[in-house]
Amino acid sequence: MRISILFLLLFSLVACGTFKKTAELESPKPLLPFQATILPADTSSLWINHGNLDSDTVIINCQDGPTATLKFAAFGRSNLAFLPGYERYTSVYLHQAQTFNPSLYNYESDFSLDLAKLETEKSIAMLDLAIRYYKSRNKTVIVIGSTYGAMLIQDYLATHESLADKYILLAGRLDMDEEMILEYQHGNQGEFFEDGRSFIPDFEPTTIPPVTAADRESLLTNRLNAAVAFKRYTEALNHSDLSNVVYFYAENDQVVGSLSADEVKFLLTKGARVFPTKDGHADAFFRFIDAILDGRLVL
């Protein structure tokens, strides 16, 4: 009898241990901790300086994307190097929420639009802090942003006191097409035909909840895009003086679409300078460089 009891007890322990081990093997690996972005007390950690650090003119770069890394930190170079007299300026490569705080990519099952809006506010706060930092040191501040960076600048102008001396916006949009906004909100990209107006839905929609690392990054990226693209900036900036704004856009932009006639009219009415190009989304930056070289634009 004792042998039978001992045998049953031993069998139970082994069975429980085996079940526990099997359960552990089948459990999904936990993600690393997710932490909402917290702005540091030392605001200078929000950017990387390059060039002539004693210059009276500072160029703050708001990179495109939104990408997972600050490109200058990753590559040690930037398109700004094509800027005439680049070595004379202090160039400031500004972080965004997702580059400063990579733990955002460790979200659990969904990076919601509301969370994207909160993190976008942090990115815009970084821009405000950088501008204030250099203006408090009596610097001339020029802010340059491309695509997503241009959208962040627009949101800054709509929600903060405008303190910089000049803003250069490249390949952005004031009033994004509703079809593209919906694509962004669903974690997708989409694009436009060469006319810059006809919309093409994403052929490879993001899986939600994300299954692959690519899906996870795509969802976060496009929800961040949605967090700035959903606003109608012709309304948000309606009471703003944009005479220190320069806007370059491509009439055949296949990434964000071309500015509409109403968007262009709005910018001109508010005093902005507008430069249309026909060389596509990516070359808006180089048409900006051309305008400086041929004297149409002076920083």
Contact 263, 202 (CB under 8 A): no
pLDDT along the chain (299 residues), means of 10: 41 40 38 82 94 97 96 93 96 98 92 96 98 98 98 98 98 97 95 96 91 92 97 97 98 97 98 96 95 96
Contact 62, 86 (CB under 8 A): no
Q: Please report the pLDDT score of residue 32 as a whole number.
A: 57
Q: Please report the pLDDT score of residue 34 as a whole number.
A: 83
Considering the domain delimited by 38-293, tell me its CATH architecture: 3-Layer(aba) Sandwich (3.40)
Q: Please report the pLDDT score of residue 16 as a whole number.
A: 44
Whole-number Å distance between alpha carbons of 252 and 234: 21
Which amino acid is residue 111, in one-letter code? F
Other CB atoms within 10 Å distance of the CB of residue 298 = 7
Whole-number Å distance between alpha carbons of 244 and 237: 13
Find the distance separating the first CA and the last CA of the chain, reported in whole Å.
96
Residues 27-42: b if buried by 16+ CB within 10 A, e if exposed: eeeeeeeeeebeeeee
Contact 278, 250 (CB under 8 A): yes
Going from N- to C-terminal start, the domains of the chain cover 38-293
Whole-number Å distance between alpha carbons of 299 and 280: 23
